[in-house]
């Protein structure tokens, strides 16, 4: 009988890629999510019955334990970028990670992969980065043989980075950004999935791996590359941090005043704190090279999903070709 893996947050941006790769490797996959009815798209990743979404709330011991029964490995991809309702950073990224690791250890599971982030720091003034570090520490406490993956900003078809900024170009000729000189090392989501699969299969030594793509670029340079891909010209304005702080505060207050009905999907004060620091792989960190994976460059992937933001969409290249004929 094939082995079974439970992926917490397996229908999310990164989790769905891990689920697909593991299904292709022959694993039976439980995709543990809060709303299984919204995760039915994962079922075709394998043969009938191989990949199944199941109900789980990482804030509850019984829920976490139930979907872990009989598993040979667990993967934790649960994380949030903005707090909402009971889904606080501490509850999800620190306590949730601890709960999964503790219960996995109690059930005798010896393989765990935990998705964290570059910049995880228990002393950080950012709640996101602080709770990522606390989650890592809790995982190692209960599962010292775990593999922890720390990616830089992640890009891919469903990303919330390039898609968000590309969407903003439709609003006008000016594109405001914050932290224009902060450096990032964007990593392709499928490369992270490959790293996770190696860990689940036992082909990665325990410990922390920082995952970054082959290019290090500033926020301004990343936006310039995105604009080139979508064939749009925009005036990129790098806002001073104090102005960005006012905007973030306003959006946070709007979310609070609406009791969460209007979520802050633009910029939070916590995200702004993170943007003050470079998000690149440390010189002495283990990474893709240690996993025998060659990360894919942005230029090979961005056109595949950002084409819809071009002025003529999928017909952009055809329109340019026709224009050349007329001249």
φ, ψ dihedrals at 186, nearest 5°: -55, 140
In terms of Cα–Cα distance, which of 181, 191, 195, 182 is closest to 214? 191
- Judge whether 66 lies within some domain: yes
The whole-angstrom separation of Cα 288 and Cα 154 is 14
Buried b (16+ CB within 10 A) or exposed e, 76-93: bbbbbebbeeebbbebbb
Q: Is 319 helix (H, G, I), strand (E, B) or coil?
A: helix
The CA–CA distances, whole Å, from 294 to 192, 210, 214 equal: 11, 14, 9
Q: What is the CATH number of the domain that holds 56?
A: 3.40.50.720
**Length reported for the chain:** 327
- Judge whether 313 lies within some domain: no
> How is residue 90 annotated by DSSP?
I
CB 299 within 8 A of CB 215: no
What is the pLDDT at residue 259? 86
The token pair at 47 is 């043969």
- Judge whether 208 lies within some domain: yes
Q: What angle do CA 177, 181, 183 make, to 5 degrees?
A: 105
- Judge whether 144 lies within some domain: yes
The token pair at 97 is 């990670």
In sequence order, the β-bridge partners of residue 177 are 238
Under-50 pLDDT residues of the chain: none
What is the pLDDT at residue 323? 59
**Which pTM was predicted?**
0.94
- Judge whether 34 lies within some domain: yes
- Judge whether 309 lies within some domain: no
- Judge whether 220 lies within some domain: no
Question: How many CB atoms are closer than 10 A to CB 201?
Answer: 15
What is the pLDDT at residue 2? 81
The token pair at 100 is 């999964």
What is the pLDDT at residue 131? 98
Domain tally, the chain: 1
Structural domain that includes position 201: 4-154+186-213+278-295
Question: How many CB atoms are closer than 10 A to CB 314?
Answer: 9
In terms of Cα–Cα distance, which of 259, 241, 125 is closest to 176? 241
Per-residue pLDDT tens digits for 22-61: 999 999 999 999 999 999 999 999 999 999 999 999 999 9
What is the pLDDT at residue 324? 62
Cβ burial, residue 309 (10 Å; 0-12/13-18/19+): buried
> How is residue 296 annotated by DSSP?
P
- Judge whether 219 lies within some domain: no
């Amino acid at each position: 009988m094939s082995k079974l893996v439970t992926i917490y947050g397996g229908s999310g941006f990164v989790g769905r890629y891990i689920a697909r790769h593991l299904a292709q490797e022959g694993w039976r996959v439980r995709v543990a999510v809060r709303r299984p009815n919204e995760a039915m798209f994962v079922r075709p990743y394998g043969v009938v019955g191989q990949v199944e979404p199941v109900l789980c709330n990482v804030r509850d011991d019984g829920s976490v334990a139930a979907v872990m029964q009989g598993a040979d490995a667990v993967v934790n991809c649960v994380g949030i970028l903005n707090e909402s309702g009971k889904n606080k950073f501490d509850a999800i990224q620190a306590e949730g990670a601890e709960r999964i690791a503790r219960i996995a250890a109690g059930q005798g599971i010896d393989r765990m992969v935990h998705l964290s982030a570059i910049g995880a720091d228990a002393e950080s003034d950012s709640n996101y980065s602080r709770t990522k570090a606390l989650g890592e520490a809790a995982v190692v406490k209960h599962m010292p043989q775990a593999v922890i993956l720390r990616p830089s900003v992640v890009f891919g078809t469903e990303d919330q980075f390039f898609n968000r900024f590309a969407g903003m170009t439709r609003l006008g000729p000016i594109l405001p950004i914050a932290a224009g000189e902060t450096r990032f090392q964007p990593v392709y989501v499928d490369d992270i999935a490959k790293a996770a699969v190696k860990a689940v299969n036992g082909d990665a030594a325990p410990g922390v791996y920082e995952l970054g793509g082959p290019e290090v670029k500033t926020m301004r340079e990343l936006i310039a590359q995105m604009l080139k891909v979508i064939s749009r010209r925009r005036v990129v304005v790098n806002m001073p941090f104090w102005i960005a702080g006012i905007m973030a505060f306003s959006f946070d207050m709007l979310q609070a005043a609406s009791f969460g009905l209007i979520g802050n999907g633009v910029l939070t004060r916590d995200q702004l704190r993170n943007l003050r620091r470079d998000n690149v792989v440390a010189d002495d960190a283990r990474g893709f090279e240690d996993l025998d994976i060659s990360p894919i460059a942005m230029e090979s992937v961005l056109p595949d999903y950002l084409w819809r933001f071009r002025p003529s969409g999928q017909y952009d290249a055809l329109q340019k070709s026709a224009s050349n004929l007329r001249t």
